[in-house]
Each structure stands twice: as structure tokens, then as C-alpha cells.
């Protein structure tokens, strides 16, 4: 279903990222997960929307990312940013992750 080179590149880039990251097909099947996602019990082969609270998927920007082939982001919950990033030369696949930003951390780092 997906080129092994894409899977290898995903793991090379995202395996040690500190938050869960998933490689997802446009049909919403999770193709790969990084170690942080594995540590949370997330698995490959399941629909992405089966993970977490169903409400958290209502603002999904996967379709927009795939139709425009441009990364999308969404600021939510006061301290979280979600990302949907299309994979170059694989128009049916995207990377999805979120990061939590602490304003204290940002302030300390920017003033160091």
C-alpha cells in the first residue's frame, strides 16, 4: 500500500520525536507510528479516528492538507498545536502529530 522508502523515511525522521507521530493514508488507516506513539499503545493498521476522544477529530484538517498538498495546523485547547503534513511525492499520505506548548517554557527558552 505504501512505498517502503516512505516508511523508512518516516522512521528516520520521526522515530525519536518526543510526542506521538503517525503516518496516515487518506482512507485514515495508520500506516506507521513512532516510538512515542507505540509507548502510548497506538498501533498501525487501525483507523486514525479510533485513537483518542472522538470529539478531538472534529476539526481534522487532513482533507485540506491532502487537497492542497500544503501542511496544515490548528491551535487548540489553549496550549496544543496539531499538524497535518502531506508527504512529498505521495499525495495520499500525510504525517499527523501535535505538540503541547507551555507558555512558561516558551518564555524561558526565548529569554535564555
Domains and CATH numbers, the chain: 4-110 (3.30.450.20)
The residues facing 72 across adjacent strands are: 84
Contacts of 96 (CB under 8 A, 6+ apart): 21, 22, 24, 48, 62, 82, 83, 84, 85
Phi then psi dihedrals of residue 6, to 5 deg: -65, -45
Rg (the chain; Cα; Å): 14
8 Å CB contact between 98 and 83: yes
Q: Give the model's pLDDT for residue 39.
A: 96
Give the separation between CA 59 and CA 84, rounded to whole angstroms. Answer: 11
Please choose, from the candidates 37, 48, 41, the residue with its C-alpha nearest in 3D space to the C-alpha of residue 15. Answer: 37
What are the CB-based long-range contacts (under 8 Å, 24+) for 5-12?
6/87, 6/90, 6/93, 7/31, 7/32, 10/34, 10/95
Digits of tens for pLDDT over the chain (112 positions)?
688 999 999 999 999 999 999 999 999 999 999 999 999 999 999 999 988 888 888 899 999 999 999 999 999 877 889 999 999 999 999 999 999 887 555 545 544 4
Amino acid at each position: 500500500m505504501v512505498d517502503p522508502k516512505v516508511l523508512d523515511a518516516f522512521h528516520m525522521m520521526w522515530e525519536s520525536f518526543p510526542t506521538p507521530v503517525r503516518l496516515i493514508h487518506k482512507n485514515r488507516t495508520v500506516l506507521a507510528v513512532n516510538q512515542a506513539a507505540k509507548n502510548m499503545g497506538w498501533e498501525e493498521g487501525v483507523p486514525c479516528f479510533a485513537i483518542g476522544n472522538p470529539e478531538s477529530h472534529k476539526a481534522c484538517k487532513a482533507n485540506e492538507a491532502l487537497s492542497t498538498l500544503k501542511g496544515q495546523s490548528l491551535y487548540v485547547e489553549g496550549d496544543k498545536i496539531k499538524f497535518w503534513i502531506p508527504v512529498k511525492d505521495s499525495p495520499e499520505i500525510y504525517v499527523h502529530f501535535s505538540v503541547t506548548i507551555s507558555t512558561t517554557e516558551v518564555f524561558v527558552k526565548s529569554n535564555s
